[in-house]
Amino acid sequence: MRKSLQIVAQLVLALGVSLAHAGSYDDFFKAIKRDDGKAVTELLQRGFDPDTIDPLGRAGLFIAVQDGSLHAADALIAWPKTRVEWRSAKDESPLMIAALRGHTELVKKLIARDADVNKPGWAPLHYAATGGHVDIMKILLDDYAFIDAQSPNKTTPLMMAAKYGSTAAVKLLLDEGADATMRNELGLSAVDFALQAQRQDAADMIAAAIRKAQPKGKW
């Protein structure tokens, strides 16, 4: 009889924990959507796992950065147990999304938490260059981001800046020593990327940098 009562008590306790977790689960992702950093912190203090995945397979910090819920993101970055190097199914990190979206302060905080500036494959600098966010590009380069990082198909940050970013982003990379002669797996150079986007100013800037680096008569 006593054993049966113990089993019942254990089942009731397990059910209570399960229901409490279910409630916290909903509350956690609602708080992120509302950008309620205080509510996020309270849940974390009660023991909720900051790396819990939502139904779409995304961790809370990734969602907060992606949705621009900056207060919620701050709360998660400040929490020591949050895994800032969580990766999505597309191998994207919170730092990459912050760099793409232009969230400068989040980039600084993520780097302070040792987010990987030189992540293999597509890197944060590719994403910052794509968005044309010069201030973030400078932060990444100052933290030793590899300027000629190559994606899986050997695309460089300069190529992304040339096609999608800004003239200022192209200029920064060239001024910092990016190799303008590199080509991706399709044989395309940064000049080709610029021309694909009909960005003659960027193409001319890159071509001028190549000419300057070549011995006379070689271009």
Residue 153 has pLDDT above 60, yes or no: yes
Match domain 1-83 to its CATH number in 1.20.120, 1.10.20, 1.25.40, 1.10.10: 1.25.40
Is pTM beyond 0.85? Reply is: yes
Q: What is the pLDDT of residue 13?
A: 35
Cα 31 to Cα 38: distance, rounded to the nearest angstrom: 9
Q: Which CATH superfamily groups domain 93-219?
A: Ankyrin repeat-containing domain (1.25.40.20)
128: left (phi over 0), alpha (psi -120 to 50) or beta: alpha
What are the percentages of helix, strand and coil residues in the chain, rounded to 5?
A: 60, 0, 40
Q: How confident is the model at residue 5 (pLDDT cuts 50, 70, 90)?
A: very low
Q: How confident is the model at residue 214 (pLDDT cuts 50, 70, 90)?
A: confident
Q: What is the pLDDT of residue 207?
A: 98
Of 214 and 24, more confident: 24
Cα 130 to Cα 132: distance, rounded to the nearest angstrom: 5
- Range 182-200 average pLDDT: 98
- Domains 1-83 and 93-219 fall in the same CATH topology: yes
Of 216 and 95, more confident: 95
- Range 128-137 average pLDDT: 98
Q: What is the pLDDT of residue 11?
A: 39
